[in-house]
Amino acid sequence: MASGVSGYEREIAGIMKNELGRVCDEVHVDDFGNVVARKGSGRKKIMIAAHMDEIGLLVKHVSKQGYIYFIKIGGIDDRILLGQRVIVKTKNGDVPGIIGLKPPHLQKEEERKQLVKYEDMFIDIGCSGREETLGRVALGDPVIFEPNAGVLHDKLCYGKAPDNRVGCYALIRVMEKVSADAEIYAVATAQEEVGLKGARISSFKINPDFALALDTTVAGDTPGIKETETTLELGKGVAVTLIEAAGRGIIVPEKVKDMIIAAATENNIKFQLDVVEGGMTDGAMISMNRDGILTGVLSVPCRYIHSATGVFHLDDVAAAIDLTVKVIEKSAVN
């Protein structure tokens, strides 16, 4: 439910600092906004990263009539925006709004055939003019989708930003459970959605011997997705990434892939293999840092990713936590 558009992660960072502080030896927020926690000691340094930030919008302009125009922060399909309820996060508190557009009744036939672009949309906060609107919001204020969370059915849950609050939750649970002869760093990273920035900075500072990125990935068990695009299903286990963005992201080293699969097999943890043609995670940036860092990526499959509401399965979250713990234990002695 917390807010945390890229670059404006203060609210979720506060939660992560408190939660990691309960189970780690020390925790701090660096100058970039990453929450960095450390636990244990040993000859090896191991880093686990999960990004805090979420996709969202930012106030760009206010019209004479008091309507807000915006830019997108992160990858958002314009088609999901129209009619969404949003919250403008201001210094003086939350301001609710609705994303509007010229109604179809007044559109010409050619207009109705065209794909609506976000530049033509606006946010209505109920004010009657520019001065009134600017009395409530400011240019540069971040905008989130209206928070929502709950149980869809059985172990299927939904929420505003499972990408990547699910990973953040897993990060906390891993640090609660893990015990290994190593110095383990948990990093809740900032600004992943706009360039994997926090992972770059934190992994350079820590310079770990091994790293894992915890994230979400696209599920393929809904209409319109071909099995040649992805076969990942909710409830079938954690996704073990082999390659991202057709190689522009991380190409997980054979050594790391084999270790992760062995840990899953030995401990009867359900997993699925993920070959990603588009999209990257923090793992891509971590793996390229310094003189190269051995890095793997574990993800929870999620439906409707990068929209106002995503759906995920609790068993996949549990599998991600269990496998991360076992991989850390393996990497500490290998």
Catalytic residues, by residue number, are 192
* Gap between the Cα atoms of 286 and 29, Å rounded: 19
Residue 234: closest CA among 154, 322, 326:
154
Q: Is the Cβ–Cβ distance between 45 and 186 less than 8 Å?
A: no
Written as six digits, the tokens of 276 are 């990603």
Burial class, 194, CB count within 10 angstroms (exposed 0-12 / middle 13-18 / buried 19+)? middle
Q: Which residue has the tokens 């929450």?
A: 35
3-state per-residue secondary structure call for the chain: CCCCECCCCHHHHHHHHHHHHHHCCEEEECCCCCEEEEECCCCCEEEEEEECCECEEEEEEECCCCCEEEEEECCCCHHHCCCCEEEEEECCEEEEEEEECCCHHHCCHHHHHCCCCHHHCEEECCCCCHHHHHCCCCCCCEEEECCCEEEEECCEEEECCHHHHHHHHHHHHHHHHCCCCCEEEEEEECCCCCCCHHHHHHHHHHCCCEEEEEEEEECCCCCCCCCCCCCCCCCCCEEEEEECHHHCCCECCHHHHHHHHHHHHHCCCCEEEEECCCCCCHHHHHHCCCCCCEEEEEEEEEECCCCCCEEEEHHHHHHHHHHHHHHHHHHHHC
Q: Which residue has the tokens 């599998």?
A: 319
